[in-house]
Amino acid sequence: MRSASLGAGGAIKDVTYMNVRAFSLFSLLSIPITSFATSSGDTSSDAITNVLLSGVLSAIISAIVALAVARISRFTNTVTKVRNEYIKEFREMAVCFLTCASSNSPCTEKCNGKSLEYYYYHLMLMLNPAKTNAYWEQEIIKQLTDIKEHANEQNIQDLTHLLQADLDLEWHGMMEEGKKGVLKNGRKEKLKYEFYMNYKRYADGLL
């Protein structure tokens, strides 16, 4: 997973759930003060002040939580859009790279007639092999370079399978984040490892 996001549907469910929890919290916070003010039947100015304070307190907490929820919602919507755009661009560049690499499919108007080198370097700049646990990126770059130097039916097919697994990982990660929120680094690494090992077993003919 090279980027993080929340799915729009999951974000809506998360925000709704947070609102319910927030409302319950406000109710619980306001009960003690109100009960204290009214338990003795006291209608003095102090009791009225306590009731008013409980209302003000609830309103302040409500405003703070509502602001936090709005910021989270805005953040998740932005990240979701960026993630979707990244996946779309990466897939389109990969399709054109593989199209140009195939001896039977020279670059076409659909790929803007650009060269194999153009799509190679475009994809390279979308990958970061220097970060921690970058075995996905390193594997993709290795196969991209192999095809750029000497394309054949086998390495084109190998890269196609690798990119299918990589895009499936990105999509699965986005769906899981839509349900749970932004994933912790440990969970992201576990997902990457699981999908990578599944790909390796497939590539080795074990699946």
Least confident interval from 6-10, 73-77, 187-191: 6-10
| Burial tier of 113 (Cβ tally within 10 Å: 0-12, 13-18, 19+) | exposed
What Å distances lie between residue 99 and 17, 146, 148, 186, CA to CA? 46, 15, 12, 36
pLDDT digits (tens, 9 = 90+) for 113-124: 888 999 999 999
Contact of 84 with 76, CB cutoff 8 Å: no
Query: Given pLDDT bands bounded at 50, 70 and 90, which one contains residue 107?
Result: confident
What are 199's two structure tokens?
Answer: 């790909």
pLDDT at position 72 is: 66
> Which residue is associated with the tokens 């406000």?
26
Q: What is the pLDDT of residue 28?
A: 47
**Average pLDDT estimate for 93-122:** 84
Count of all residues that appear for the chain in the document: 207
DSSP of 95-151, one letter per residue?
A: HHHHHHHSTTS---GGGTT--HHHHHHHHHTT--TTSTT-HHHHHHHHHHHHHHHS-
The three-class DSSP label of residue 41 is coil
pLDDT value of position 138:
93
